[in-house]
A and B are shown apart, each in its own frame.
Chain A
Amino acid sequence: MKDKKGAPRKTKFDIKKITQLQGYSSFTSALMAIVLGLIFGFMVMLFANPGSALAGFRFVVLGGLGRIGDVFYFATPILMTGLAVGFAFKMGLFNIGASGQYTMGLYFALYVAFMWQLPNGIHWMVAILAGMVGGMIWGFIPGFFKAFLNVNEVITSIMFNYIGMYLVDMWIQSNATIYVSSTTRTRYVPMSAQIPSLGISGSNVNFGIVIGILIAIILYIVLQKTTFGYELKATGFNKHASEYAGMKGKKNIVLAMAISGGLAGLGGAFLILAPSGIVGSSMTYEPINIIAANGFNGIAVSLLGHSHPLGIIFSAVFISHIQRGGTLTSLVGYKPEIIDVVIAVIIYFSAFAMIMKSSAGKFIKSKFGKKENKENKVAKEAE
């Protein structure tokens, strides 16, 4: 969407120019992955219960529109984990540990919310910052292992997902101020620590989404306009050359992983500090030794957004949208897990959507565009 808006820079409206833009090709390949994912979901629905497949599919695609507030609320944590994964990806790191960082952030935010007494208006901000710190610590460690001990960040951060999850669940369960053992969930977060609501009735949407979008824009500026972003991308593209150019690769790896972890930690904080639709209450967390799914959904969000901070905003909203739609399918007898399957399928196709598209493009060109092809060749040789 945004790519088409970017086009007016050119004085003349020229379809060819647009199709050559890199953003456009990311957009179309993401679209292709989404379509394939949805088709797959539809087929599963047809298989499970042909009678209500159409109705169910309509919920998936359109259901979220009726609940825009919730779509944005649930988009907030995956926007943050998406940014986390995408940011690390720019540096050539695959932060599969967003999940653990997210959980750690969630705990740090909870801790500050319950255990610290702070004035209204400041409490929730400090709690958010605490969440960021928690995530940063959990991202820093795999970064450190990668940079100084040469341990692959993928394995490390997976291990830290488990370690973090066990630790947090243990800490929560052993803290009576936070945990209610009869409901096996955490208590409602004190009012002063809840993020102010955006005031859309019947929805949890809160100021967190605004902060999230602001952060995405800041990240975009950092990556595109600053020397830090320049170094980061250079290292991601070619770590040898960046080292030859005197960039501090190891420092940047640790920094990037810490920032990435901080972003995921913010996601955890935004989730748990959100006010719920019921007055005075907030979201709660149930420590049952399960790895947080929002961390992995961040991978989907990041891939769909091609690791581009602004693209990630849109993909987070989109994923949240079909998730909301997915929960509605239970009205016609489906299980909401169907959306997780669809998301996984989307990731799968995103992994090679670019290649698939280009080979499809080549096929079409070879059938219909022989002449144009030749012209291109001549032009290239003339260079």
Chain B
Amino acid sequence: MENYIVEMLNITKEFPGIIANDDITLKLKKGEIHALLGENGAGKSTLMSVLFGLYQAEKGIIKMNGKEVKINNPNDANALGIGMVHQHFKLVEVFTVLENIILGVEPNKMGFLQESEAKEKVLYLSEKYGLKVNPDALIEDISVGMQQRVEILKMLYRDNEILIFDEPTAVLTPQEIKELLKIMKDLANEGKSILFITHKLNEIMEVSDRCTVLRKGKYMGTVDVKDTTKEELSRMMVGRDITFTVEKEEAKPKDVVLSIKNMTVASKIHKNNAIRDVSFDVRAGEIVCLAGIDGNGQTEFVHALTGLEKLVSGSIKLCGKDISRSSIRQRSMGGMSHIPEDRHKHGLVLDYTLEENLVLQRYWQKQFQNNGFIKFGEVRKYAEDLIERFDIRSGQGPETITRSMSGGNQQKAIIAREIDKEHELLVAVQPTRGLDVGAIEYIHKQLVDRRDAGKAVLLISLELDEVMNVSDRILVIYEGEIVGELNPKETNVQELGLYMSGAKRNTSKEIKNEG
């Protein structure tokens, strides 16, 4: 029998309405990197939360070094040497790096903080693993990659032996990913055991020793990575072959629909402008992708484009009309449709019914109101039509409270609403975030359909695969500037990554000439 440092045996965890983990077994060897693969919603995070003591499983046991243990809260997990880098970092932004690292295990005398010894230990660990963090910096001032290293230091500071990484690469550039994977290998070589949650097959192939696959809360098996292929893993994950490429014909760009000239937008966080002197066009019949790492001005760009924020200078033209000073609604009426980044916060009123949400952009039009009174009959008819055509599934049809719907169907509702409204330009911001493969394929197909119907599509995405597969033209945004225009057929992920991290740029002249 082999020696396992952690064994999670027959774990079952239920939430009201769903079984998130159904009889799952996972065994971690000492010193290995063990990948946990599955789609969004497959139950990976739940399983890890059970191991970390955030949830308690209804059934199943956890053993460490062969002995059964009870993990009721993160303190128990910590005492057993289990640490976790969460997908959404658990860092207090107004605290320093050091304060975040010691939070919960503060060195103290009679309750008074003793920071100096902690600082020494942090500096030592940072040196040892090449993490290069400054303990006195405020979290809000450092980059996302650096924040992640603070999370890693949090685990090392607590002398954790079992390190859980929950989707750690989602927020990083290709170069940062490379560095992280190297750090992970170093940690494993030092004898740390690593659980690596991901849905990215390349990364699994690169660093992991073994891989456990989950699908819809069920255990699909564990394989040695060196004996398997990407294709086999993806079949285990999704249950069928998936196409990694989006099928589409060559784009046939026509007239300019959106024309942005010298756009500059102020930042709410710092004194510099978030968007500086950005100019480009989007034509009918093409998908232009604005690619970049999160936080390089995309949010501000979208806000300025859709009218949520004012421009400092520059102009936006939609179908030849200057809309730089127009209101949100005027832009919407002028032909701009918008799939917002955060569907819960910006796209839907979750406490409204599905039908009420489907007319959120149109309730004021003659079709749906008469002298200020809403025509509920018309709304119902319209909603039923959209539900049918876009295959939006919900418990009680048009009357379903939107909050109770699945993420994929919520996104479908937004897409139905935005696509069915008259539009010339579709702005889609991270439209596939947090969705499973089926929903992602559906959404990509819709985007291509729009393009083929002669609409202009502007996609803002952080997912490299999406950028490469869906777009006809890539614009890379870095620190609020367009630093490169690339043709997806002639470039590769590595080159794209160099642009995204600011290491490489076209001369600004070239871009201007093309525009």
Please say whether the chains A and B touch (CB closer than 8 A). yes
Chain A residues proximal to chain B, CB less than 8 Å: 225-228, 230, 233-234, 237-238, 240-246, 376-377, 380-381, 383
CA distance A241 to B360 in the complex (A): 9
B residues 327-342 near A (Cβ < 8 Å) are 327-329, 332, 338, 340
28 inter-chain pairs at a CB distance below 8 angstroms, sorted by A residue, are: A226-B373, A227-B369, A227-B373, A228-B372, A230-B363, A234-B360, A237-B349, A237-B350, A237-B351, A238-B350, A238-B351, A240-B346, A241-B345, A241-B347, A241-B348, A241-B349, A244-B306, A244-B328, A244-B338, A244-B346, A245-B361, A246-B307, A246-B328, A246-B329, A376-B17, A377-B14, A380-B17, A383-B393
Complex: A44 Cα to B308 Cα, angstroms: 55
List chain A residues, Cβ under 8 A from B16.
377
Interface size of B by Cβ–Cβ distance < 8 Å? 35
Interface assignment of B1: CB less than 8 Å from any CB of chain A: no
Interface of A is mostly: helix
CB distance from B460 to the nearest CB of A (A): 15
**Is there contact, CB below 8 Å, between B372 and A246?**
no
Instruction: Name the A residues within 8 Å of B360 (CB-CB).
Output: 234, 241, 245
Find chain B residues with CB under 8 A from A233 CB.
352
- Say if the beta carbon of B18 comes within 8 Å of chain A: yes
Residue B374 at the A interface, CB < 8 A? yes
CB-based contact A381/B17 at 8 Å: yes
Give min CB distance, A248 to chain B, whole Å: 8
In the bound complex, do residue B374 and residue A226 qualify as a contact, i.e. CB atoms below 8 Å apart?
Answer: yes
Evaluate contact between A381 and B369: CB separation under 8 angstroms. no
Question: For A225, A238, A381, which residue has the most chain B Cβ atoms within 10 angstroms?
Answer: A238
> In the complex, which residue of chain B has the Cβ closest to the Cβ of A378?
B17
Residues of B within 8 A of A246 (CB): 307, 327-329, 332, 361
Q: Which residues of A contact B372 (CB under 8 A)?
A: 226-228
Q: Are A234 and B349 in contact (CB under 8 A)?
A: yes
Query: How distant is A74 from chain B, measured CB to nearest CB, in Å?
Result: 35
Bound state CA distance, A227 and B16, in angstroms? 35
Which of A226, A230, A238 has the most CB atoms of chain B within a 10 A radius of its CB?
A230
CB-defined interface of B181-201 with A at 8 Å, one 1/0 digit per residue? 000000000000000000000
The 5 closest A-B pairs by CB, nearest first: A246-B329, A246-B328, A380-B17, A237-B351, A245-B360
A244 touches B308 (CB 8 A): yes
Known contacts A237-B351, A377-B14; 8 further A-B pairs (Cβ under 8 A): A226-B372, A228-B372, A230-B356, A234-B349, A241-B346, A245-B328, A246-B361, A376-B17
Taking CB as reference atom, which chain B residue is nearest A228?
B372
B328 touches A243 (CB 8 A): yes
Say yes or no for B129: interface residue by CB 8 A criterion. no
Q: Are the C-beta atoms of A227 and B17 separated by less than 8 Å?
A: no
B364 located at the interface, meaning its Cβ lies under 8 Å from any Cβ of chain A in the complex: yes
Chain B nearest Cβ from A178, distance in angstroms: 40
> What per-residue 1/0 map shows which CB atoms of B139-157 lie under 8 Å from chain A?
0000000000000000000
Give the complex CA separation of A238 and B357 in angstroms: 12
Residue among B346, B350, B376, B393 with the most chain A CB within 10 A?
B346
Chain B 299-314 interface 0/1 with A at a Cβ cutoff of 8 Å (1 = within)? 0000000111000000
